[in-house]
Structure 1
């Protein structure tokens, strides 16, 4: 694997200058012939999409969704209404694509973005499907998003345990997706911006191969987002790489007073 580049951006929170840094990677894995995952990581939006569907359907769905969200960033207006509009356009793109032949064509979507209120930023995590956002805060890893899946519904109903979910025959069945039909809006979770926060945004190709403890371990061992991304990918592949593996790591730190302002993009 080649080295993954870490990008940075300065942000102001409560009159404090902080550094936002991030890195992302995607890999076909060890058992799949094509990569149906896609990701986009540019300030202020960081997302992962895990496509599904026969033929080229999953790749079409994930790339169409990411392309529409890239345009939102390019427009300079990253907020929930704009994201909703982009996803509605993506649904049309997927439906209209000549290679969308499978009714199961669609993609998960998850990620985080900075949104502003009175010029102060906070995080918004979004998700559709079973790709996930994790947050390491105060040395404790928590799953921010809730899976839209059959097994998650069974867990919530008390019918199976989280341990039983891993080997459940419906473990890959999701209940929401961005696909060639009417869009279901994402769920959102709002979080404050804190120094030291580290987000892991990933497809289930990572979580099939790494436990939450494993994710936390590699974050602790690698302070740089690029190094952490590479370490987690290598571990996922070594553990089997049964699916495409995609992840983005985003983190916030104090801006060193001895350096110049970070590059503004």
Structure 2
């Protein structure tokens, strides 16, 4: 893999996890690497730090553990550690990043390896026999976000103009009801069984079966990865409203989303990872474009009014000329009549 990188994308990172208002331990885990080539898995101290996408990309991983005692925490930690291992700088070769299919294959292998590692740990230690975890990961590479997931931890894409879009589909019982037409989507949020997942890592009866999506990176957009501790408390339109207000400040946005979940009860651990694609300097941002569209639309709205005023003024002017002409004509008619009468007499 060459060391040159012509990719212009720059980005900011933000992440936070919270135990919530009910749980006593946090079974969520996350890791981020702004530059896989550097091998650092740390959040920047300054949320305003702008990174340039390196030639091996960046990685975001979120996992939501399940199980008794600390088992869920162990499972989610194994999952993120396995992803870190697979995406160490020396493991990412030219063959892996050859095209979209090889990238997907490698990410699939990483998730399967995490699943096997959790199962192996369960067999070795009886105290963590029933542990498992969900996983969602985004590999930002060569102008794309390659997202893989297993379970109901979600990936969203936020655009200040078009809004929020869920780009993953939950592996859950309620989602299956929606897909089969037995439940309307608007009733999914409040369904009593919306915590039942159908795929996960660590399930001894099933092999991990993740899904994958590949999205082009767009300047001004924000990638959001989260555990269901966020989207089980906040509806998508509420998440969108928070991001519309705060997405320009990644740290503020991260904290606001977490706080929103806590304010509504915080029934579960909640984890949020954000990545904002920063617009190039001297190039209009998505927000600027939104303002331009808004201003243009406002001008278009004013055009009919201006046309009405101009036509009204023109009509009044023509009417005034007609009146003057009529008055002038009447005066001359009266003079002619007076001359005729005087001449005849």
Q: TM-score, normalised by structure 1?
A: 0.83
Q: Quick one: higher RCO (CA 8 Å, sep 6+), 1 or 2?
A: 1
Distance 1:221 1:40 in 2: 26
Alignment of 1:165-176 (within 5 A): 165-176=188-199
Return the match for 2:268 from 243, 257, 260. Answer: 243
1:219 aligns with 243
Deviations 1:86-113 (A, max 9, x none): 3333233322335454654211111321
Q: Secondary structure of 1:229's match?
A: helix
Shift of 1:152: 0.2
Q: Tell me if structure 1 keeps the 8 A contact 2:178–2:185.
A: yes
Question: CA 1:214/1:86 → structure 2, altered by over 3 Å: closer, same or farther?
Answer: same
Q: Tell me if structure 2 keeps the 8 A contact 1:57–1:100.
A: no
**Cα root mean square deviation, aligned:** 2.0
Distance 1:113 1:89 in 2: 17
Is 1:159 paired with 2:185?
A: no
Distance 1:39 1:209 in 2: 20
2:220 aligns with 196
Shift of 1:55: 2.1
Between 87-96 and 151-160, report the one with greater CA deviation.
Answer: 87-96
Return the match for 2:131 from 67, 81, 105. Answer: 105
2:207 aligns with 183
Question: CA 1:107/1:220 → structure 2, altered by over 3 Å: closer, same or farther?
Answer: same
Q: Tell me if structure 2 keeps the 8 A contact 1:58–1:107.
A: yes
Deviations 1:21-53 (A, max 9, x none): 111111100000110001111131112101111
1:19 aligns with 10
1:40 aligns with 31
Deviations 1:121-142 (A, max 9, x none): 3111211111111111233211
Q: Tell me if structure 2 keeps the 8 A contact 1:87–1:183.
A: no
Q: Give the total of aligned pairs.
A: 240
**Unaligned 5+ runs, structure 2:** 35-57, 97-102, 283-345
Give 1 or 2 for the bigger CA radius of gyration: 2
Between 93-102 and 236-245, report the one with greater CA deviation.
Answer: 93-102
Distance 2:143 2:276 in 1: 14
Between 207-216 and 237-246, report the one with greater CA deviation.
Answer: 207-216
Deviations 1:196-236 (A, max 9, x none): 11111100000111111221122121212111001111111
**Unaligned 5+ runs, structure 1:** 1-10, 258-265
Q: Tell me if structure 2 keeps the 8 A contact 1:57–1:99.
A: no
Q: Secondary structure of 2:214's match?
A: strand
2:88 aligns with 74
Shift of 1:54: 1.6
2:144 aligns with 122
Question: CA 1:23/1:99 → structure 2, altered by over 3 Å: closer, same or farther?
Answer: farther
Q: TM-score, normalised by structure 2?
A: 0.65
